[in-house]
Amino acid sequence: MPHPPPLRPAVVLLSGGLDSTTVLALARREGFAIHAMTFRYGQRHGIEVEAARRIAEQHGVAQHVVLDMDLRTFGGSALTADLDVPKDRSAIDDVIPVTYVPARNTIFLSYAVAWAEVLESRDLFIGVNALDYSGYPDCRPEYIAAFERMANLATRAGVEGRTLTIHAPLMQRTKREIVQLGLSLGVDYALTTSCYDPAPDGAACGHCDACLLRRRGFAEAGIADPARYAGTS
Cα dist. 91→172, 173, 189, 209 in Å?
A: 19, 19, 25, 10
Average pLDDT for 2-16: 88
Read off the pLDDT of each residue in 142-168 and give the average, rounded to a whole number: 97
Per-residue model confidence (pLDDT) at position 89: 86
Q: Is the pLDDT of residue 128 over 60?
A: yes
Indicate if the alpha-carbon torsion angle 105, 112, 36, 69 is positive or negative: negative
Q: How confident is the model at residue 2 (pLDDT cuts 50, 70, 90)?
A: low
Distance of alpha carbon 124 from alpha carbon 41, whole angstroms: 20
User: What pTM was computed for the model?
Assistant: 0.95
* Angle, alpha carbons 200-204-209 (nearest 5°): 125
Which of 36-40, 130-134, 159-163 shows the lowest per-residue confidence on average (mean pLDDT)?
130-134
Cβ atoms of residues 102 and 67 within 8 Å: no
Q: Give all domains of the chain, ordered by start, each with its CATH number.
A: 8-221 (3.40.50.620)
Closest by alpha carbon to 30, among 148, 145, 185, 170?
A: 185
pLDDT tens string 200-230: 999 999 999 999 999 999 999 999 999 999 9
Chain centroid to Cα 193, Å, comes to: 11
Residue 134 confidence class, pLDDT cut points 50, 70, 90: confident
